[in-house]
Structures are given as structure tokens and as C-alpha cells.
Structure 1
Amino acid sequence: MKRTSDGPPDGASTAGPAAPTGFLAEVRDAVSVRAALLVIGVLLLQLAFITSYIGAFHEPRPHEVPLAVAAPDPLTTAGTVRGLAALPGDPLDPRAVADEAEARRQIENRDVDGALIVDPRGTTDRLLVASAAGASLADALAGAVGAAEQRQGRTVRVTDVVPNAAGDARGLSSFYLVIGWCVGGYLCAAVLAISAGARPANIHRALIRLGVLLLYSIAAGLLGTVIAGPVLQALPGGVAPLWGLGTLLVFTVGAITLALQGLLGIVGIGLAIALVVVLGNPSAGGAYPWPMLPPFWSAIGPALPPGAGTFAARSISYFHGHAVGGPLLVLAAWAVAGSVVTLVCATARTLTGDRPAAPAGTTAP
């Protein structure tokens, strides 16, 4: 084979190794290993969504619903409590109260979900319910008490002492408002987190993101309240309390998202969605309040932002703010924890020197 002084041997090709061809090569070019893993993660998230929602809602039934019982004399009250407590499946958790006034007070304070007022002089008793705490729960309570009364040869007349507003069908407006706030919280945080790199590069950027999230939360809380209240007339009550709740809830969900994204990168955003949407929404007590849900969902609901937010929104709108202390503490704890983890992740990355590469021609800070 001849060789020239400035070229390859005669007959040799100047091209590099041939690129792989065929369908599998096209697949590898189109879908990287990282993308394939993320797609599998999305599939798992989707299956978890289906499992959680169907698992929570496929067979709702009352379980240990708090019920006050009042009668003119203690013996009648005690006998009625024993009879209701012995019902198969434990649908009710009856407790004796002094009189109807005390029963109403406990309903308004959200200590109980209903009250049975016994009239031993006749055969018709009265059941007090609060559909504003959940229309499905009020219906289930009426069904359980009505069946028990029928077995005793008695009837029951239902009175709704805390009804829903005219524009709040089935009492779901507060739930949908909370879900909207939660969606805005994690979407805002996700946009802030991925807008300039996968993770916070330094403490300053993390503080700025939390500050922007707070401003967004204030605006989202106000606008959501105005739409649900003055505009659509769906929720009664003042604007200021719901605005405060909305601000706290949006910031809480956003802080959780920033924290998980700071720990795990883009996978953390998926985990935030799993926590808030997959687990939080079906256990929030919206369509079916906690006494109607299976044990797992009724247990986790009060501890997650959607559940705490829904309970607080209903309390603010219909129960004069009674019993909001616990849910607000839950939200505040999540908000503080999310903010602290976000800042710790940013600080750790700054101290270890894990910073984004500087653009060509510049010096990294």
C-alpha cells in the first residue's frame, strides 16, 4: 500500500468509527438512561395516585363519629349511649352531655359532629348535624342513627344546625380552594427551583427563592379568597382570616417542595407531588371527612397540609374559627421545616464548593 507524505495510505478511509445504526440505537439517542428512570418514576407516581384515591374513596362508611347524646334524665342518656356504642362496626362514638345547649356548643366548637336529643315522652328524637363539616358525613350520621332508632321502634328528625352556604354545594368549596392553593404552592416552588439549575447554588439564592415564594403566597392567598368569597359567594366569613390561611398554606407547600428538591433534585419535586397530591388530597377530608375514610387515610389526613388546610378553612368559614389552632400549628411546622431544610441544603452546597460552572470568559464567584 502506497503512502503519500501528507495523507493516509491509499485506500484508507478518513472517516471515524461508524456510528451505531438501527432501532435500538435510535432508542438510545431518543431516551437517555436518566430519562428512562424518570419515566419509570412517573409510572410509579401514577399508580400510587390511582391506588391512593380509589383506596380512600371506594367504600366510605362512618367509623367512631363523635356524637353527643342529651336526654332529660341521666338514666335515659346513659342507656342511649350504651346502645349506640354497641352498634356493629362502631359507626358512632357517643358521649353524654348535659342538655341540648351543651350539645349545640360542642357541635359549633367542632368537638362532635352531631348530637342526638332524646325525647322519652314520645317516639321521635331529634338529630342535630352540621353539613358544613361535610355533607357526606352528615348523611352517614343520619343513616346510622336512623337505623339504630328504627330498631328501637323510634324515629328521628334531622336538623342541620350549621348548614352550607347557598353557593357551597355539598360543602366542597373550601376543599377545592385548598387544593388550588396547594397546586399553586408546589408549581411556584418547582419553577423557582429549576429556573437556574437543579439545586440551590448558595444561601443567597435560597433566601431569594423563599422570599419570592412568600410574595407569591400572599398574592395567591388573597386572590383565592376573593374568588371563593366576594366574587362567587361560595364561602361565608371575612376575607382576612382565609387570606391568612391561604398565605400560610401556599408557602408551606412551596417550602416543602423547595426542601425536597434541594435534597434530591428533580426527583424531590415528584416526592412533593406524592406527599401533597397522592397522599394529601384523598386524606384531606374534603369529599369524605376523616371519620368516613379507611384507617390509613384518616390517620395521615390531619398531619398533611391539604387536610390541615381543609379543616381550618371550614372552621373559619362556618364555625367562627373554632378548633383552628391544631391545623395552623401543623402548617407552621411544615413551613418551618421546609424553610430550614432548604437553607441547610443551600449552605451545605456552598461550603462544599458545589457551584454551577461560570460561563465562558468569566470567573466563578
Structure 2
Amino acid sequence: MTFVDEVKNAVTPRAALLVIGVLGLQLLFIASYVGALHKPKPTDVAFGVVAPQQVSRQLVAQLDGLPGGPLDPRTVSSAAEAREQIMNRDIDGALIVSPEGRTDTLLVASGGGTVLSGSLERILTEVTASQQRAVRTVDVAPASPEDFDGLSSFYLVVGWCVGGYLCASILAISAGTKPANRQRAVIRTAVMALYAVAGGIGGAVIIGPILGALPGSVWGLAGLGALVVFAVGMITLALEALTGIVGIGLAVLIIVVAGNPSAGGAFPLPMLPDFWRAIGPALPPGAGTWTARSIAYFRGNAVTGPLLVLSAWAVVGTALTLLLSMRHRTGQEGDGGAGATRATGGSTAA
């Protein structure tokens, strides 16, 4: 055999296509992470202004006209209302102008991301200094001293996501990437659910009682973890049932390549470019990171939307997995004769 013949025997067209697909994922990974994170800057950060009426209008206009548009300012009626809106995650910070003295108060929430709160402090210090005023910063939802840069919630969710798609991949690859029948799909779904519960509880216990990295309800975080793991696992199973082994790559594309850099972990959403800011809340890593921070630092507020996003991924993944297994079974039953024998043999092998 010639060298070319040896290459043809060693590298099948299917293997070559898979390698090309992996190369594509690699390049997309680099483009996505570097594109999202190489130049973070605040843009349209929801920001409140508490000041006497005339001063408030002028200050809102001034903040709205800052170069690069870092802030999206709006008038807030009182300091108490500003604090409440921050805790509800409606705004990311607020400036309370003192009507008597020359020192104003900046409210931030480092629990939502220390990089963002630090950027707000820098911006408002420059603005007030230009008016010969000073500013003091009050952190109304401070990040834990054990939670460096507010990253613990992000890494917790990343761990849950990794567990979800790895478990689903193992369940499928160990017995063929397509469910042979409806019963096997149901069994895999049940195993995925049990694994999700164990992974959710384990992650919450590690990051809370053991390491002390995140405050908040351990059981709240455990429930979130179970939902994240199950959602990611089931969408991975569905993609594998739909496309075979390629489904693993598609899951990596959705969760790792697109989801992680847009999750608001390393840099909160207002500091990401428009594309990643838009897709982040709709993907499991982003929805999970937002919810974990809300549980840890914001009294569990503003979690309905992200939980619905995660639930939608879980429901769609489960439905597709079961429906595709039923379709596969119907096709097997319709073959008859030798086709039925092949189907039976395939089921046994799987």
C-alpha cells in the first residue's frame, strides 16, 4: 500500500470531519472568550440619581452624556428607594447628592461584581471632582471577603454545567449516542435527574459550609445547582439523540463557547460587548450565575426570569430526548424482517 492509501485507511472521512469540527470549536472558543473579555468597559449601566429636582435633571443629563455612554441614569425618589432598587437588581448603583454639604454618597453592590462597582466608583469620583465635590462609597450588598472579585458564583455554575454535559455524554457514549428505545431514554433521564440533585447539593455544600466562599441559603443554591445540571445534561442528551456524537460538540458550543464568556462572571453583563450581553441571560451559565449571586447577596431577588430560562432548557431537552427516542423506536418497528433483527441487535449492542 502506498502512503496515501495508508492515510485513507487511517483517517476516515467521518474522522476528518470530526477533527475539522473540533478545530472550528477551538477557534470559536478563542474568538468568543477574547472577543468578550479582552476590553471590558461599562456601557449603559443602570444608575440612579437622588437629588433635588433641578439638580437631578442637570446631573442625569450630565451622566447620560459622558463619553462612551457608560451610564444609563434615571431619577430615583429617595435614598431608601435607591437601596431597594439595587437590592432588587433594577439598578447597579446610585448617587445620593447632599443638598447641604459637598460630599455625596455613592451606593454600589460589589456582590453583583466587584469590577463593576469599582468602575462606578472611578466614574463618579471623576464626575464629582469636576464639580468640586467629594464622594464616599457605601456598599449595600458587599461581596464576601472569601469571594475574590465575586467570581465564586460563576465558577460554581461553570462546575455544574461541566458536570451536566459530561454526565450526559458518558450516558450516551457508553451505549451509543442515540437512545435505542423509549425505555432507555427514560432511564437516562432519571439518572440525569439523580445526578443533578447530587451535584447541586454537593456544589452548594462545598462553596458554602466547607469553603465559606458564598453566603446565602445552602438549600437555595443546591436547588439552583440541580436545575442547572439537569438543564445542561438534558439539552446535551437531546443534541446527542438528534445528531449523534456531534451533539457533544454542539453542547460545548452552546455552554462553553457561547455561554461562559457571556455569563457575566469575570465581568458583569454591563461591561460586556453588545453581542455577549444579549445572549448571556438566555444561556444556562448566565442564568445560573445571575441567580447564584441573587441568592448569595440580594436576598433571592430578581430570580424569576433566570429560573424560567433554566426551566425552559430543561423542559425542551427532556421533551426532545423522549420524542426522538420514540421516533427511533417507531422506525425500528416499521423495518420488519431483517431490519427488525438489525434493530434488535443494535439495541443489544447499545
- TM-score in terms of structure 1 length: 0.91
261, 281, 292: which one pairs with 2:271?
292
| Residue aligning to 2:15 | 35
| Residue aligning to 2:167 | 188
| Residue aligning to 2:211 | 232
Asked if residue 173 in structure 1 is aligned to residue 152 in structure 2, the reply is: yes
> Partners in 2 of 1:338 and 1:144 — Cα distance?
43
Task: Give the superposition deviation at 1:278.
Answer: 0.1
Asked if residue 70 in structure 1 is aligned to residue 70 in structure 2, the reply is: no
| Residue aligning to 2:107 | 128
Q: What is the count of residue pairs matched by the alignment?
A: 342
Unaligned runs of 5+ in 1: 1-20
Task: Give the superposition deviation at 1:363.
Answer: 9.4
> Partners in 1 of 2:192 and 2:130 — Cα distance?
57
Task: Give the superposition deviation at 1:74.
Answer: 1.6
> Partners in 2 of 1:69 and 1:203 — Cα distance?
58
Worse overlay, 294-303 or 22-31: 22-31
1:322-337 correspondence to structure 2 within 5 Å: 322-337=301-316
83, 98, 105: which one pairs with 1:119?
98
Paired letter, 1:136: V
| Residue aligning to 2:62 | 83
| Residue aligning to 1:159 | 138
Q: Supply the RMSD in Å over aligned alpha carbons.
A: 1.7
Paired letter, 2:218: V
| Residue aligning to 1:60 | 40
> Partners in 2 of 1:249 and 1:119 — Cα distance?
44
| Residue aligning to 2:195 | 216
| Residue aligning to 1:276 | 255
| Residue aligning to 1:344 | 323
- The C-alpha deviation readout for 1:25-48, integer Å capped at 9, x for no partner, is 222222211111100000000000
Give identity over the alignment, percent: 59
Q: Bigger radius of gyration, 1 or 2? A: 1
| Residue aligning to 1:263 | 242
- TM-score in terms of structure 2 length: 0.94
- The C-alpha deviation readout for 1:139-160, integer Å capped at 9, x for no partner, is 1111222222222232222221
- The C-alpha deviation readout for 1:48-104, integer Å capped at 9, x for no partner, is 000000000011000110111112x22222221121112122110111111111111
> Partners in 2 of 1:198 and 1:251 — Cα distance?
18
Asked if residue 143 in structure 1 is aligned to residue 116 in structure 2, the reply is: no
Unaligned runs of 5+ in 2: none
Q: Secondary structure at the match of 1:352?
A: helix
Task: Give the superposition deviation at 1:358.
Answer: 4.1
> Partners in 1 of 2:238 and 2:244 — Cα distance?
10
Worse overlay, 46-55 or 103-112: 103-112
> Partners in 2 of 1:106 and 1:346 — Cα distance?
47
Task: Give the superposition deviation at 1:319.
Answer: 0.7
> Partners in 2 of 1:26 and 1:357 — Cα distance?
33
Deviating beyond 3 angstroms after TM superposition, the runs of 4 or more aligned structure 1 residues are 354-360
Worse overlay, 96-105 or 306-315: 96-105
| Residue aligning to 1:17 | none
Task: Give the superposition deviation at 1:357.
Answer: 4.4
Task: Give the superposition deviation at 1:334.
Answer: 0.8
| Residue aligning to 1:15 | none
- The C-alpha deviation readout for 1:197-245, integer Å capped at 9, x for no partner, is 1201111111110000000000000000000000000011121110100
Asked if residue 320 in structure 1 is aligned to residue 292 in structure 2, the reply is: no
> Partners in 2 of 1:51 and 1:308 — Cα distance?
22
- The C-alpha deviation readout for 1:108-141, integer Å capped at 9, x for no partner, is 1111101101113233211111000001111111
> Partners in 2 of 1:334 and 1:363 — Cα distance?
31
Asked if residue 249 in structure 1 is aligned to residue 211 in structure 2, the reply is: no
Q: Secondary structure at the match of 1:285?
A: coil
Task: Give the superposition deviation at 1:165.
Answer: 1.0
Worse overlay, 82-91 or 277-286: 82-91
| Residue aligning to 1:48 | 28
Task: Give the superposition deviation at 1:287.
Answer: 0.6
Q: Secondary structure at the match of 2:42?
A: coil
Paired letter, 1:105: E
Worse overlay, 149-158 or 162-171: 149-158
| Residue aligning to 1:5 | none
Paired letter, 1:172: L
Q: Secondary structure at the match of 1:322?
A: coil
Going by fraction, where is helix more abundant, 1 or 2?
2
Paired letter, 2:211: L
